[in-house]
Amino acid sequence: MTIGAVQAAPLTMANVFATIAANGVECTPIALKKVVTAYGKEIKTPSANCHQAIEPGIAQTVAYAMNQGVVTKGGEAETTQLNDNRKTFAKTGTNEDTSMLTGGFVPQVASFVAVGNAESPKSFNNMTINGKFMASWYGMFIATPAWKDFMNTYLDTAKIPQDNNYGNPEAKYLTTPSSSAAAPSRDSDRNANTGGNTNNGGNTNTGGNTDTGGDGDRH
C-alpha cells in the first residue's frame, strides 16, 4: 500500500484505516460524544453518517494484505507487530524525505502517526534526532515506535479483547487474471526487426518513470 502524493490530515488517514477495520463502513469522525447545557438540556451532536463505503469483501481482503506485510519475514510492516501476538494490520511509510508515517488498526481501534512539518516540509536526510544520526530516515524509525506505543497502551488500558479472526480475503480478489495476449513468434520478431530504418525500442521507456511504491518505506 502506497501513501499517495495528495496531502491528507492524520485524522483523515486514521479514518481510512478505520473504514477497512469496520468491514468497509465509513463514519465521519465526531469529536463530541455528548453536549449538555448548564441547565441539563442535551444538545444534539452531529451525525457520523455511517454508511457502506466499500464492499466488505474488499475491506477484508485489504486487511489480509496488510497483515501479510506484518507477519511475513522481511515484510514492509514487520516492525509494527503489537504485543501478545495480537493480529496487527499496519503499514509504515515515508513521503519523499519529509514525513515519517505509520498507520494501522485492529478491528476495534485505528490510528495514524505522522512525523514532519506540515506547514514547512523539511528533509530528514542527514539529520541527528535524539542523538542518532541517519543519512535517511524512514517511517519505521520514529513513527512506528510511536504508533505501537499508543496502540499497545490504549488496548491494554481500555482492556480491548483480541480479535484474531478479522482479515479473511475473498478468493475473487486474490486471483490474478492471466494475459490473453499471445506471445509473438520468433518469425514475427525477426520480420519486425528487418527494417533498416526501424527503431526497435530505442525510444521506448520501459518503466523508467513508473512509481513502484517510491513513497512507501524503502527498507
Q: Decide if 36 contacts 2 (C-beta within 8 A).
A: no
**pLDDT given at position 178:** 54
Q: Decide if 174 contacts 106 (C-beta within 8 A).
A: no
pTM (global) more than 0.75:
no
**DSSP notation for 34-49:** -EE-TTSPEEPPPP--
Residue 123 lies in a domain: yes
Range of the domain at 68: 10-29+47-159
**pLDDT given at position 5:** 64
pLDDT in tens, 168-190: 999 999 876 554 444 443 333 33
- For the chain, the straight-line distance linking the first and the last C-alpha, in angstroms and rounded, comes to 14
**pLDDT given at position 4:** 53
* CATH number of 100's domain: 3.40.710.10
Amino acid at 11: L
Residue 169 lies in a domain: no
What cell was used for 31?
A: 469529536
Residue 121 lies in a domain: yes
| Number of structural domains in the chain | 1
Residue 103 lies in a domain: yes
Alpha carbon separation from 203 to 79, 197, 198 (Å, rounded) = 42, 13, 11
CA-nearest of 190, 209, 210, 187 to 200 is 190
Residue 190 lies in a domain: no
**pLDDT given at position 190:** 35
pLDDT in tens, 113-133: 999 888 888 888 888 888 889
What cell was used for 107?
A: 478491528
Residue 58 lies in a domain: yes
Residue 106 lies in a domain: yes
Using a CB cutoff of 8 Å and minimum separation of 24, what contacts does 75-81 make? 76/216, 76/217, 76/219, 77/104, 79/140, 79/144, 80/104, 80/140, 80/144, 80/147, 80/148
Half-sphere exposure of 186 (CA within 13 A, CB side): 0
Residue 201 lies in a domain: no
